[in-house]
Structure 1
Amino acid sequence: MFPLSPAAATPLETIADRAPVTKIVGDARRIATPEGIEILEQVDVGDDRQWISIRGRNRANPVLLFVHGGPGTAMMPLNWAYQAPWEDYFTVVNWDQRGVGKNAAGADRQKLLPTLSLDRVVQDGAAVIDHVRTRLGKDKVVVLGFSWGSMVGAHLAHRFPDKVSAYVGVGQAVGPDDEAILYRETIAAAERAGDAAAAAELKALGPYPRANGELPLDVGSALRRYAARYDGMWYGHRDLKPMYDMAELAPEYSDADVAAFRQGSAWLSESRIMHDMMTDDLRRLGGFQVPVVLLLGRYDLATPYAAGRAWFETLKAPAKTLVTFERSSHFVMLEEPGRFLTALVSRVLPLTEGAPPYAVLPRASEKPR
């Protein structure tokens, strides 16, 4: 949770001509089933138009809306690496939030900045849910919130239980205490690693949060760069370079979209959304009317595992489940993709209407011409 900057991932590698590569990836991912759906479209979302992707091998499957993090770190350009197996069981919707992702290249930032807030993004999410429900003929959807998106997703599930069948939190953010835990545990990780210089540099950044509760953006970003050294962002990776490089292969993204993704979203720091992210506290929501499933990486420091687990212990819901991924930190779906899929199928799918069986049809090659 924090608008990530590619400065944490330099040097970056770019592909001079992406078209042949993205065509290969796109062709390999093509949905071929007659029951399937593969759509990339702009939709009206209140006062804005935003891009969504809808993919699945059977459009009758339950719908899963992926709410990305950051704020401003879209996951649409990375989903080619982990999402395909989900599409057997769910119709997966990726939504790029206002002003970021595929919406970034042509965005009027000065016009958007006054509109950016947690409440506005939650309203946008509700509009996307309504669009998808109508398009696919569904009463409810699963909301999966990742990182900053787990705040948005939790509010969606809490505010609109008539539209949401279950809430899934990945890299679950909870509230302002997350940052204090991040600071404390990153210093401890540096000391365990025998990195005295890093520990001293981290201590010099403090106190964090400040005595007045302020959370300086530059310190929060620096902490995450340090946390990455000690498996706190992506287990086994010391930075987020792979994440930024992976966007190069995204069939959904133009060259301009990838360039905007690489530039990061630090401009959001000028909006209210940063204040909302740093001050919102999910513990104030009280109980949920829908089942809650948390899928958390043991070593996550970006949205600390300890905070997510503590919130889980106190929250009230019709049913709740926590799955800990023992070799993951923040990007669980990339770090342990097989176990993540198993959790979706065994823990989340039963909370929906279920995946219907395929009808027996001729082979694709036997279709009448």
Structure 2
Amino acid sequence: MLVTVITAACATIAASAATLLSHRAIVRSGNSRRLRITGPHGVDEQYFTRIGGLDQWLSVRGEDRAHPVVVELHGGPGSSNAILANVSRDWERHVTLVRWDMRGTGKTLRRSGAAAQGEMTFDRLVRDAVEVVEHVRERLGADRVVLLGCSFGSAVALRVARSRPDLVGAYVGTDQKVFDGGRDTSDYDAALERLEKAGKKKEAAAVREMGPDQRAWSAEQFSHFSRFASATDPHTFAAMKSVVMKSLWFSPLHSLREIVTFFKGFMASAAVLPDTASFDDRADGTRFGVPFFVVQGACDLVNTPARARAFFDEVQAPVKEFTLIEGAGHFAAYRHPGVFLDVLRTRVLPALAGSR
């Protein structure tokens, strides 16, 4: 009798898995068709190139090579945006979108393995980013690029835009990350309060044990806090399910094994976080020689719009604009890609043309 029950249960699980994978295959096929770029002036390239002594993965996509070039720096660290190709498909009708899996992330991580990622520091990521922009400019014949920094990637992009205006035509930060040398602990306090209100006693105890001084946190503690903060932010948690996880599962560019690698990227990249605890963006300078844009979710509790706005107000730039996406938390530009595209078309690209 027991054998019969176990056999039946296994058959049910196998049938459910087969159905799930079949549905995934159908949706991925449709997404693959939507991603096709067939026009004579288009570009659709995915390849590895040597950046910082490591083979790193790039995607270059757009309907017309003559369009402005946007180089996107993903967040995390370790959270590849390559999975979001379908979400941002309409952007590629107006710009050439370059995506890069940083060292410790996605296809770059899978190519060489965690042990071969080399120097895992924030400074190394910044130097890699400069090399990527230089490579893209040469490959596409672009004078300067729009540098799009997303969440943690905005901290990297901010430093490239500040130090290398000769490479960057405009800066766009979304889910903007701002470092303040540890002076402001409001994000820590708010996350702890949300955990306590939700009855997450174990998680709240872990956050209290960390303490508010991030300079004393380990890489593992940074990762835990990020997870706790995101999970207790309702808008961000909803975006993670409906945008990030859904895109990952149905991405035609990623195999099942690469889905596993996606999650390994967070662990491999966490080593860069302790370096950032004492960073101070204001001390580093608020003067930028390029047009400066921030697009932030009005309800983002991970990188709050108040903190981003306070920094933005001190920025001196030829042109600057701050846009709130109402009803959005973290991942605002990808939860509302049409709204972001409108900002890109009507605000950023005209400023890019005027800055040349």
Alignment of 1:253-268 (within 5 A): 253-268=254-269
Query: How far did residue 76 of structure 1 move?
Result: 0.5
Q: 1:85 to 1:212 in 2, by over 3 A?
A: closer
Q: Name the CA distance, whole Å, in 2 between partners of 1:32 and 1:349.
A: 24
**Deviations 1:277-328 (CA, angstroms, capped at 9, x unpaired):** 3332222221111111000111212222221111111122122110011111
| 2:43 is aligned with 1:37 | yes
Contact preservation (8 Å) 1:77, 1:246: yes
Q: Name the CA distance, whole Å, in 1 between partners of 2:319 and 2:78.
A: 31
Q: Name the CA distance, whole Å, in 1 between partners of 2:296 and 2:327.
A: 10
* 2:104 paired residue number: 99
Alignment of 1:124-139 (within 5 A): 124-139=128-143
Q: Name the CA distance, whole Å, in 1 between partners of 2:255 and 2:195.
A: 39
Contact preservation (8 Å) 2:174, 2:295: yes
| 2:354 is aligned with 1:349 | no
Q: Secondary structure at the match of 1:110?
A: helix
Alignment of 1:72-221 (within 5 A): 72-81=78-87, 83-113=88-118, 115-175=119-179, 176-177=181-182, 180-189=185-194, 195=197, 197-198=199-200, 202=204, 205-206=207-208, 209-210=211-212, 213-221=215-223
Relative to structure 2, which stretch is displaced further, 126-135 or 197-206? Answer: 197-206
Query: How far did residue 67 of structure 1 move?
Result: 0.2
Contact preservation (8 Å) 2:105, 2:269: no
Q: Secondary structure at the match of 1:161?
A: coil
Q: Secondary structure at the match of 1:80?
A: coil
* 1:363 paired residue number: none
TM-score by length of 2: 0.84
Contact preservation (8 Å) 2:42, 2:63: yes
**Deviations 1:341-367 (CA, angstroms, capped at 9, x unpaired):** 11111111112239xxxxxxxxxxxxx
Query: How far did residue 57 of structure 1 move?
Result: 0.9
Query: How far did residue 85 of structure 1 move?
Result: 1.3
Q: Secondary structure at the match of 1:106?
A: helix
Relative to structure 2, which stretch is displaced further, 276-285 or 129-138? Answer: 276-285
Q: Name the CA distance, whole Å, in 1 between partners of 2:214 and 2:312.
A: 28
Q: Name the CA distance, whole Å, in 2 between partners of 1:178 and 1:260.
A: 35
Contact preservation (8 Å) 1:43, 1:49: yes
Counterpart code for 2:248: A
Q: Name the CA distance, whole Å, in 1 between partners of 2:66 and 2:214.
A: 51
Q: Secondary structure at the match of 1:246?
A: helix
Query: How far did residue 36 of structure 1 move?
Result: 1.1
Counterpart code for 1:42: F
Q: Name the CA distance, whole Å, in 1 between partners of 2:214 and 2:293.
A: 34
Contact preservation (8 Å) 1:148, 1:277: no
Q: 1:95 to 1:211 in 2, by over 3 A?
A: closer
Structure 2 unaligned segments of length 5 or more: list them.
1-16
Relative to structure 2, which stretch is displaced further, 277-286 or 94-103? Answer: 277-286
Q: Secondary structure at the match of 2:103?
A: coil
Q: Name the CA distance, whole Å, in 1 between partners of 2:129 and 2:189.
A: 33
**Deviations 1:204-240 (CA, angstroms, capped at 9, x unpaired):** 7326544583234555444444444554552745x64
Please give the root-mean-square deviation of Cα atoms over the aligned residues, in Å. 2.8
* 2:72 paired residue number: 66
Query: How far did residue 254 of structure 1 move?
Result: 3.2
Q: 1:329 to 1:51 in 2, by over 3 A?
A: same
Q: Secondary structure at the match of 1:293?
A: strand
Higher RCO, 1 vs 2 (CA within 8 Å, ≥6 residues apart): 1
Q: 1:33 to 1:116 in 2, by over 3 A?
A: same
Q: Secondary structure at the match of 1:35?
A: coil
Contact preservation (8 Å) 2:104, 2:265: no
What percent of counterpart residues are identical? 32
Q: Name the CA distance, whole Å, in 2 between partners of 1:220 and 1:119.
A: 18
Q: 1:200 to 1:98 in 2, by over 3 A?
A: closer
